[in-house]
Amino acid sequence: MAASADTSSRLDLSARVADGSRSARRLRRTGQVPGIIYGGVGGPVLFAVDSRILRNTLAHSGAILEVAVDGGEAAPVLVKDLQRHPVRGHAVHLDLLRVDMKVAIQTHVTLELTGADLAPGVIEGGVLSQGAVEINIEALPGDIPDALHFDVSKMEMNDTVTLAQLTAPPGVTLLDDPEETVLATVTPPTKEPEPDEIETETGVVGEGEDAEGEAAAQADGDTGEEAEQSASGDS
């Protein structure tokens, strides 16, 4: 998806000064997300952005955003890193990388599997597992896709698909090893234990409980040596 300066991909930022982690925590308490812009022409710029606006913009934009700091000239950036709260999941810090729309860059994009419910191996009871979650690519900023999609609807039981079977979108070069990078597998379901195996395990557990009972009874009374001495004394 090519970047554009419409409302869905433009993000207005407010400059902030470097004032340590305490300042960043204060921003978060007021509903702001701290961040930094770096790379390209110019030095790093610290900023803050309203968390709700950020969430809405990222939900409706592509890989490239148009950002403007304090109403200045808009410039294209790539979302390099979005840190989230480990429990609540909301954004806590945003890293933006300046890009030249005419120069290819390397980045990673999410891999999404489609058609899982139609896969013969899954219909037969197999388990579909995704391998790689993100794929490293190289492309012009305007050619970076929101995500890569792979159709698994034809996967049979015990099938494995690798990156070699994924067709890259126009203008995108896949950088990971095509043969070693596994995208998905379909494996047979875990075998349930047979009835005789369950009975055997139950028997073992019962024996263990008897032994534990004897040990507990002994622990409540005398030790083995003391019991023998008591018996000798009684005789």
Query: pLDDT tens, 74-110?
Result: 999 999 999 998 998 899 999 999 999 999 999 999 9
pLDDT tens digit sequence for 112-167: 999 999 999 999 999 999 999 999 999 999 999 999 999 999 999 999 999 999 99
- pTM here? 0.70
Give the CATH number of domain 105-187.
Answer: 2.170.120.20
CATH of 10-98, picked from 3.40.50.2300, 2.60.40.10, 2.40.240.10, 3.40.120.10, is 2.40.240.10
From the list 134, 132, 77, the residue with the least C-alpha distance to 109 is 134
Contact between 179 and 131 under an 8 Å Cβ cutoff? The reply is no
Task: Give dist(CA 16, CA 27) in Å, integer.
Answer: 10
Distance of CA 54 to the CA centre of its chain: 20
Domain residue ranges of the chain, discontinuous segments joined by +: 10-98, 105-187
